[in-house]
Structure 1
Amino acid sequence: MSCTHPIAPYLANAHARDQGVAAWQEACAVWPTLAPLKATYPGFSSWYWSKVVPGIFRGTRAILRQGSLNAPSGLAIVKRDAAEKKICTLWVSEAGRGRGLGRELLEEAIDWIGDDHPLFTVPAQRYDEFQPLMERFRFNETQRLNSLYRPGVVEHIYNGQFSAQLQS
């Protein structure tokens, strides 16, 4: 994926252009950290570039970061719009685990989203790892779906019902 800014000529004013360029640069800078998720989640790359990045420009999505831009120790991708308030991705580096970074990112995500109980999904393989955070934040498991993101993998859904229209 090329990281030349495709929309700068279309932004209306210098301030919007500067914000758009900064958002694009951040999206490009953190992509190498997130790119390995392509192996775990089919369509992750397409989702990131076609939904997340444009959503950042619209103000309906954000990438929250712990650590440096080029070597983050933790990232969260969050969404807030009329249809959905969701923590889409929560990632902490191996070296950063067990140091409270996941908790800090969840707190920041909840603040940005503006909802104490946003939609959140956890794959079965990571369920035990995430369970202490889910309890700490009083996230309620409301649904389990098989093959939501990956064939044969159960996703644990917290704080709401997940429908096909909300695959975001």
Structure 2
Amino acid sequence: MGDFTQIHEASPTIAGGEQMHIDAHLQCEQMASIELVREAMGAKKLTIRDLAIQSGIHKSRLGAVLHGTPEKRSLVTLPEYQRILKTLGISLIQASVKIEASVHADENTRTLYELLARLYVQIPPQVIAALDELNGIDTSIIREDWSGPLTQAITKKLVDTILGIQGRRDALAQI
């Protein structure tokens, strides 16, 4: 995905407010969201016509939204964007995380965001399935305020796993 940090970093702020900074950030995210779609189309070898047929959005509308020149693009509505993403097999969560990642200049940060996007999508159904397997668990006791401790536990496990993988790679490299 394109690097939009130059727009983001070059945006001036208004004294007493951050409106111009926010506007530049939104512009970055809008550009990134369209780039995400264009890249997914390229990966799937879909034309605008193909996407129009599969998504049910008129071809000329898609052409305006996905125009190759950012200045000539029309704004996409949320329902249109959701239909496009669904057609491309991208969840809204994945798209959101990928868009957020695209505004970071550091490739390692973008890679981490990609990993987290997959985790965000895969964890909920796996937790639900695991709880379903534990007969008698009352899921009504689960509360939103558990997110902090769960985030800490998942982060610790993720870091431990990464360190373990790195340790095994280092050991293999020495052989």
TM superposition score category, shorter chain reference: under 0.3
Larger helix proportion of the pair: 2
Larger strand proportion of the pair: 1
Using the size of structure 1 for normalisation, the TM-score is: 0.26
